[in-house]
Amino acid sequence: MKHDNLIEGKWHSQGSAAQVDASLHVIDGEDYRIETDMGGRYSGALKELQVSDRLGNVERKIMLEDGSVFATRDNDAIDSAFKKHRKINGFIHALENNMGLIVVAVVVTMVTGFSFFKWGVPWASEKIAHALPQKTNDLIALDSLKYLDKFMFTKSKLDPKRQEQIRTHFREKLVPYGTKDVSYNLHFRNWSMLGVIDIPNAFALPSGDLIMTDKFVELAKNQDEIDSVLFHEMGHVERRHGLEMLIEGTFVTVAVMLVIGDVSWIADMGVGLGAALISSSYSRKHESEADLFAFKKMLKAGIDPIAFSNIMNRLESFGEEIEEKRKQAKGKKKVVVEKKGSSPNDMSDFMSSHPSTAKRVEMAKKYSACFKKGLATCDIVLP
């Protein structure tokens, strides 16, 4: 006796919205017969039919040769009828229904996501950044100084003789410790916030242009302190941090775009926050690297790394002082409810997105201890 397996469903003629009840008979697991309530009849071998992939429990559609469609929600019956004929790509559905795999997927996703952002992106970015010629660095810094001059800085008020003295010292004593393909240039600028508070800071452009603000030179007590910060900035250039940040940023945006796909405003908020946290973690890493570069070169150049710790501490207390003054100035005015989340740290970007000063000072002290023992290298286990 023939084995007749019946699957209930609906039938549409080609491109028509009208639907009638229909049934699909599976005969001996090899042939099919579709009967519609309108009296339509189709028959043939199962292996000739095209069936849409299984997805959760959504309706399955079987396209017939005249363009009409048989649709059914009896997913299990369809799966078992077509199993033998491999007409269905059930692989993904099988993955989705494997509880063990789901757990593995959650874990793998979390671990991969974490490692990707924590190690993968910085590693790949570093490799790419260093594989590119120095020209790339000049290119990304192109016009940057002009741009900064226009919107941030004013002309330095520092005595030109003092400028030249620092510049000569930099060229003769520090630049030789850098690689040859970078052409270093030291610039002096004044930077003030709201036209009142002069800000002490130092910057490095990927091209090798280093910038020091007047206030910074004023705060530095001696040449060693200036050197320590210049070495730090050279570290950024040598390690190609500008280029790295650029590549890291591209990686993060593309990766986030791939996983999130359709971004709703809710996801947008979370993603924005996450991306900001990630990029500030990269930036902290770069600062530590630049510090390390500075300490190592200072040992070689015979400068006590304690100078870095001294200038860092002074910069921090200067920042606190300014903040205190600002608070007092504001306190005198009427108490106005301020925008929430205003951070006390819009002070200087030498401080923000940097590791805590305490940690950096501690590091400087360790290197200083090596220096005092007369060592030219220092083996410190990194935290």
Partner 1 sequence: MQALRFEGTGKEYFKIWIVNILLIIVTLGFYYPWAKVRTKRYFYANTLLQDRNFEYHATGKQLFWGFLIAVALFAVYNILQSVFPLGGALLAIVFVAALPWIIWRSMKFNMLMTSFSNVRFGFAGDLKQSYMNFFAYPLVLYIGLALITVVAFFLLKLVQGMTVLSLIIVGIGVLATLAYILYALSFLKKKNTEYLINGTRYGQGKFSTEIELKQLMKIALKAILLGVLLYIAINALVMLFVGLLVLATGGMESLQIAKPDAANILGSLMSLSLVGRIFAGVLGVLFYIAIIYLGTLAVAYYSGRNRNYIYGNTKLDEKITFASTLRTKPYAWIMMTNFLAVIFTIGLAYPWAKVRMTRYMLEHTEVNTEAGFDEYVSEKQKTESSLGDQIGDAFNVDVGIGF
Q: Under the rule (CB under 8 A), what is the footprint of partner 1?
A: 10, 12, 14-19, 55-59, 61, 69, 71, 92, 95-97, 101-102, 105-106, 108-109, 112, 139-140, 142-144, 147, 246, 249-250, 253-255, 257-259, 261-267, 269-270, 327, 330-331, 335-338, 340-344
Residue 62 or 230: which CB sits closer to partner 1? 62
Q: Looking at beta carbons only, is 260 or 375 nearer to partner 1?
A: 260
- CB nearer to partner 1: give 255 or 378: 255
When the beta carbons of 94 and 375 are compared against partner 1, the nearer one is 94
Q: CB 97 → partner 1: shortest distance, Å?
A: 7
- Locate the DSSP E strands across 248-322: none
Instruction: Write down the residue that tokens 């069936």 correspond to.
Output: 51
Residue 49 and residue 8: Cα distance in Å, rounded? 17
CA distance 368 to 382: 15
Query: Please, what is the minimum distance in Å from the beta carbon of residue 185 to partner 1?
Result: 20
Residue 195: C-alpha distances to residues 43, 48, 170 (Å): 86, 79, 29
366 vs 383: CA distance, rounded Å: 12
Structure token pair of residue 332: 């005198």
Give 141 or 199: the residue with its C-beta nearer to partner 1: 141
Cβ atoms of residues 60 and 75 within 8 Å: yes
Q: How far is the CB of 368 from partner 1 (least distance, A)?
A: 31
- For 36, phi then psi, to 5°, come to -105, 160
CB of 60 to partner 1, least distance (A): 9
Cβ distance 50 to 86 under 8 Å?
A: no
If the CB atoms of residues 45 and 55 are measured against partner 1, the closer one turns out to be 55
**Is the Cβ–Cβ distance between 306 and 368 less than 8 Å?**
yes
What is the rounded CA–CA span in Å between residue 208 and residue 150?
Answer: 20
Kindly state the smallest distance separating residue 95's Cβ from partner 1, in Å.
5
Q: Closer to partner 1 at the Cβ: 343 or 377?
A: 343
Residue 28 CB, nearest approach to partner 1 (Å): 30
* Nearest-5° Cα angle at 132, 129 to 138: 90
Give me the residues paired with residue 213 across strands: 189
- Nearest distance, CB of residue 23 and partner 1, angstroms: 16
